[in-house]
Amino acid sequence: MSIGILTLIIVCLSGLQNSIAKEPQVTVGVLKFGTVNWELNVVKHHKLDFKEGYNLLVKGFGGKNATAVALQGGAVEAIVTDWIWVSRQRFAGRDYTFVPHSVAVGGLVVHPNAGINSLKDLRGKKVGIAGGPVDKNWLMLRAYAKKTIGIDLKEIVEPVFAAPPLLNKFMLKGEIPVVLNFWHYGARLKAAGMKEIVRVIDLLPGLGVKRRPPLIGWVFSEVWAKREPKKIQSFLRSLRAAKTILEKSDAEWERIKPVTKAKNESTFIALRNAYRLGIPQSFGDEDVAAAETLFKVLAKYGGKDLVGNSTTLTPGTFWSGFRY
């Protein structure tokens, strides 16, 4: 290679680095293997961040608590978590606020040979539950059972609380007949031949919740959003653009297939379909009202361990600066 060509390459690379450096940055913290990485991959691949005038930096963490610590410590500017956490933080005087990422929820998946077809059939059974005793899916299922069959499920089942992937392994080995898991783990179980008998989303009308409220979303400091209005708007617009691509393009899903870590085609399709069902179609006052109604249900069954000392959703939990 001639010195002239080498010099030209160095100059071009230097110019690219300087261009990147000049772009305002948004640093986000996510779980290393979380499904939100699929969307962020689309943002980076299609340069949706640069099209919006900023540079997205992604930091991976090993657990949900670690992302919260990173946000609170200023290591990142936004994380993905639930609005219950945000409400607790705001009640305690902190300024975090929430914009929806997904309305996807889990489901009750049973082994086809378990003889379980309804909630009444759960009596005396081991039930694998992801997320712990105050998991939102578990609380909603308990509330629905109490309202429809007059029984609190925690009084008639043997709950087995464990990490989502471990619960899937237990079920596939036949060690647990039924699992209440997060949506993407439930999709993997259904692809493996298990049967979903209850979708948590279908319980909402019976609990008085008229719309599908978002359950997880992007959380950031409201002070930061007011100080950097262009950055936060650009960031959120790029995420919506990525969602649109994933909603409409099967070819894009083929590109990110390795990122999903689907072991076979049926699992891949199940994950793709479940993700698309979880894309929020609106974020307005009615969605916030639905979340307020759901908060009361969750507070009743989760108590202070879930919501802290607040009895209602803390004002400002849902950010008013970005609606669609």
Domain ranges of the chain: 24-103+215-276+283-289+296-307, 107-207
Q: What is the pLDDT of residues 112-155, one digit of tens each?
A: 999 999 999 999 999 999 999 999 999 999 999 999 999 999 99
How does pLDDT run across 212-232, given as a tens digit for each residue?
Answer: 999 899 999 999 999 999 999
Three-state SS for the chain is CCHHHHHHHHHHHHHHHHHHHHCCEEEEEEECCCCHHHHHHHHHHCCHHHHCCCEEEEEEECCHHHHHHHHHCCCCCEEEEEHHHHHHHHHCCCCEEEEEEECCCCEEEECCCCCCCCHHHHCCCEEEECCCCCCHHHHHHHHHHHHHHCCCHHHCCEEEECCHHHHHHHHHCCCCCEEEECHHHHHHHHHCCCEEEEEHHHHCHHHCCCCCCCCEEEEEEHHHHHHCHHHHHHHHHHHHHHHHHHHHCHHHHHHHHHHHCCCCHHHHHHHHHHHHHCCCCCCCHHHHHHHHHHHHHHHHHHHHHHHCCCCCCCCCCECCCCCC
pLDDT (mean) for 83-104: 97
Confidence band for 249, pLDDT divided at 50, 70 and 90? very high
Of 3.40.1480.10, 3.40.50.1820, 3.40.190.10, 1.10.8.100, which CATH number belongs to 107-207? 3.40.190.10
pLDDT for the residue 250: 98
**pLDDT at position 22:** 77
- The pLDDT assigned to 2 comes to 53
The percentage of residues in the chain with a pLDDT greater than 70, rounded to a whole number, is: 94
- Is 24-103+215-276+283-289+296-307's fold the same as 107-207's? yes
pLDDT of residue 21: 53
pLDDT at position 7 over 70: no
List the CATH code of the domain at 24-103+215-276+283-289+296-307. 3.40.190.10
Model confidence at 10, pLDDT cuts 50, 70, 90, reads very low
| pLDDT at position 12 | 47
pLDDT at 19 over 90: no
pLDDT tops 70 at residue 8: no
Arithmetic mean of pLDDT, 296-313:
95
